[in-house]
């Protein structure tokens, strides 16, 4: 896995030993996404998932791992809006923190996220570019554990795909 920052962008790359179509499906099918999305020890539930341009993704990640201390039982809600879909090559969405009703938390940043699926020899690279409003916002999110959470999530996806 590769992770780097460039100004206000967080760029990650991970290679999976599955086809482009299979990896795209794992990201774009609601039931599959619930099976692996979020850091280890967290379970995701999609309250609304409309994978189409202009469609919404309203979800909750809940910590179910008692060994994570104060995080145990915590819920983190998000609201995404799909902007572009080019199956199976890539999709682009806006992601924000929200409450369980889907109201955006104005104190937290909005992120534009582009997920690309690039065929490789017998595998597929997933490249995610997360764009923030500023480098300072990216730094704040990094300090909150976003990069570690993403890396943990990729481990979950790898385990899921290898079942």
**What are the tens digits of pLDDT across the range 23-57?**
999 999 999 999 999 999 999 999 999 999 999 99
Q: Rounded CA gap, 10 and 129, in Å?
A: 6
Give the sheet arrangement for strand 75-86, strand by strand.
2-6, 9-16, 123-131, 111-120, 90-98, 75-86, 56-63, 42-49
Does residue 1 carry a pLDDT above 90? no
pTM of the model: 0.96
Q: Region 75-83: what's the mean pLDDT?
A: 98
Neighbours of 109 (CB within 10 A): 17
Expressed as residue numbers, the domain containing 76 is 2-161
Tally of domains in the chain: 1
Phi/psi at 141 (5° precision): -65, -35
Q: Residue 8 sits in a domain of what CATH number?
A: 3.30.530.20
**What are the tens digits of pLDDT across the range 106-151?**
999 999 999 999 999 999 999 999 999 999 999 999 999 999 999 9
């Amino acid at each position: 896995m590769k992770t780097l920052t460039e100004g206000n962008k967080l760029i990650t790359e991970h290679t999976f030993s599955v086809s482009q179509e299979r990896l795209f499906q794992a990201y774009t099918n609601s039931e599959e996404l619930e099976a692996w999305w979020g850091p280890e020890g967290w379970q995701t539930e999609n309250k609304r998932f409309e994978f189409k341009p202009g469609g919404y993704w309203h979800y909750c990640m809940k910590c179910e791992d008692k060994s994570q201390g104060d995080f145990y039982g915590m819920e983190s809600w998000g609201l995404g809006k799909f902007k572009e879909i080019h199956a199976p090559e890539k999709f682009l969405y806006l992601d924000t923190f929200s409450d369980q009703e889907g109201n955006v938390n104005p104190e937290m940043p909005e992120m534009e996220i582009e997920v690309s699926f690039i065929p490789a020899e017998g595998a597929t690279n997933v490249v995610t570019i997360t764009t923030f409003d500023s480098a300072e916002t990216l730094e704040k999110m990094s300090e909150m554990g976003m990069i570690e959470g993403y890396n943990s999530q990729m481990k979950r996806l790898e385990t899921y795909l290898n079942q």
